[in-house]
Amino acid sequence: MVQRFDAKEIIVKNRSFRFAVAPMMDWTDRNCRFFHRQLSKRALLYTEMVVADAVIHGDRDKLLGFDPAEHPIALQLGGSDPAKLAAAAKIGADLGYDEINLNCGCPSDRVQSGTFGACLMREPQRVADCVAAMKAAVAIPITVKCRIGVDEQDIETALDTFADAVVAAGVDGLWVHARKAWLAGLSPKENREIPPLDYDRVHRLKQRLPDLFVGINGGLKTIADAEAESDKLDGVMLGRAAYHGPALLASVDRVFFGCETADPDPHDIVEAMIPYVEAQLRRGVPLHRITRHMLGLFHGQPGARRFRQILTVEGARRDAGVSVLRAAASAVEEASSLAA
């Protein structure tokens, strides 16, 4: 029987050492999530942001399908219409997602044109209406991911006003990217790097609202960074650091959840992926769509460059199969033997 997680256990008062892998467009698809799940059994995994209209009218298997092994898993929605978000949240809950998250932090032109994402920081009451509608539609937790503010907003007033509105609507948790978003003048990439990080602002929010689950995102690069923040907040969320160096996820269950099992070895992760890869190949999924997420698995180890090269070049062939993945892992073993 597939292990399921109690959704109410995911968001609880003052829970420390909570760990999540951030939702990332074009990256955290179902293949990425299955791979990350081999490294950590307890981290909360997020989908890419999916627009509510797409959930309601689109190909649900393509957009929302996931393997049961991915639990606990959260669906991130984009939108600003309470009725549509409620309908999309219900679809997600009925499909078995453990949490629904509303994106109020993405600064891309696409989300601005659709009046959602980070621009919703300016409309806390609308976000509150959306949260209330989703809460009324589903029994699983509803969370929001936001910034500390946008453009010329005062981050003290703006974040408090936003948080108070969604708390009044019954939100179960708030993930805060500890940077402002500049909706004009900066690209999405620049918005992840140029606005200064302000972790202290997120700490003050938690101190003011001790009963609200508050998690932090932005700029955390190592497990040590995340562990330091977990002492002050209820949750930590890593994005690009976890994607580019996925091996760091191997210690998450031990460090953040107190598991006594040994950290998984990257070679064991490759072997664990083989049955999944074979099953996806039978469905017609090209190898590179899976292995592109695995390129950083051996980061920093002898042979890591050759591992990436084999998966990138050989894995792109139309007839590429699991032998390519095995060859890439063997290259690392050979390089490690030579380096010993």
- How many angstroms from the chain centroid is the CA of residue 242? 10
User: Quick one: tokens of 87?
Assistant: 């309908």
DSSP per-residue letters across 74-102: EEEEE---HHHHHHHHHHHHHHT-SEEEE
Catalytic residue flag (residue 106): yes
Q: Give me the residues paired with residue 174 across strands.
A: 144, 214
- Outline where DSSP puts E strands in the chain: 18-21, 44-51, 73-78, 99-104, 142-150, 173-181, 214-217, 235-238
- Outline where DSSP puts E strands in 198-294: 214-217, 235-238
Closest C-alpha to 166, from 141, 194, 198, 140: 141
DSSP type of residue 114? T
From CA 46, how far away is CA 54, in angstroms rounded?
Answer: 17
DSSP per-residue letters across 168-207: HTT--EEEEEEEEE-TTT--HHHHTTSSPP-HHHHHHHHH
From CA 106, how far away is CA 114, in angstroms rounded?
Answer: 12
From CA 255, how far away is CA 227, in angstroms rounded?
Answer: 8
Catalytic residue among 106, 119, 130, 146: 106
Burial of 323 per CB tally in 10 Å (0-12, 13-18, 19+): exposed
From CA 159, how far away is CA 121, in angstroms rounded?
Answer: 8
- How many angstroms from the chain centroid is the CA of residue 170? 22
From CA 293, how far away is CA 158, in angstroms rounded?
Answer: 36
Q: What are phi and psi of 313, to 5 degrees?
A: -85, -60
Which amino acids are annotated catalytic? Answer: 106
